[in-house]
Amino acid sequence: MFKFTKFTYYCNQAHFIIGLSLITIPFAALPSANNPLLSTNTIEFENSIYRSYGQDNDQLTVKSKKGNINLHTQAFNLIGEVEVKFTLDRKTFSLNTESLDGNLLDQSIFSKEKVLFLADNFEITASSMEINKTQLQPAKIKFMYATLGKINSESNVNKGKANKIEFFPAKGLIFMKGDAELYEQNMKIISDEIHYDLNEDRILKSVNSKIINNL
């Protein structure tokens, strides 16, 4: 997903830029001295900006108050007012949370904190989030205990919620699973599972559904 990287951080008012690939930095460079639990392959940073450029014009920009990254495993942890903006399948998204973890090698990003996810035509608020993408599989974003809202004003759907929401950016599909609720025009749909097509603005599938009319 994100192959070439540029990493910028500030330390004691000095400005460092870590190349096009973090993997090219010697492991002894800028080790963590403040936290004995962190490996010598790990660097800490404050007020950081992370940028990554991948295939198909995918981009990722992350800002945070502080964090660390292991130069050997490529695992990173960002903490405090984390702001993310990224493109997937030529669509731009952003999210806000208090902590974010990920790994550049297995191309995963996740947060166990409350997340606000923003797209052009909807938003999702969730207790946690995970993004995965591989060369063989398109991107999938998973939200737990999530609320769907601020859907395009021209849409028939107003809002919804579910124990788990899966979003597939390439196809514009939203899968809602577990105590799913979706408000469409003047009715409420309660279901074990709902599949909704954002592009066509229609429900593709619902399982064990109950419909309440005239809300």
DSSP 34: S
Confidence of residue 14 (pLDDT cuts 50, 70, 90): very low
Q: How far apart are CA 30 and CA 134, in angstroms?
A: 31
pLDDT band for position 105 (50/70/90)?
confident
Choice among 8-17, 125-134, 163-172 with the minimum mean pLDDT: 8-17
Give the mean pLDDT of 52-81.
81
Structural domains for the chain: 1-113 (2.60.450), 120-215 (2.60.450.10)
Question: What digits encode the pLDDT tens for the residues 36-63?
Answer: 445 568 888 888 787 776 666 667 788 8
Q: Which burial class, exposed, middle or buried, applies to 109 when counting CB atoms under 10 A from its CB (0-12, 13-18, 19+)?
A: buried
Q: What are phi and psi of 21, to 5 degrees?
A: -145, 120
| pLDDT reported for residue 57 | 64
| Cα(103)–Cα(214) distance, integer angstroms | 48
- Is the pLDDT at 24 greater than 50, yes or no? no
The pLDDT-based confidence of 26 (bands split at 50, 70, 90) is: very low
* Model confidence pLDDT, tens digit, residues 146-194: 999 988 778 888 899 999 999 999 899 999 999 999 998 889 999 999 9
Q: Kindly report the average pLDDT of the chain as a whole number.
A: 79
Q: What is the pTM of this model?
A: 0.78
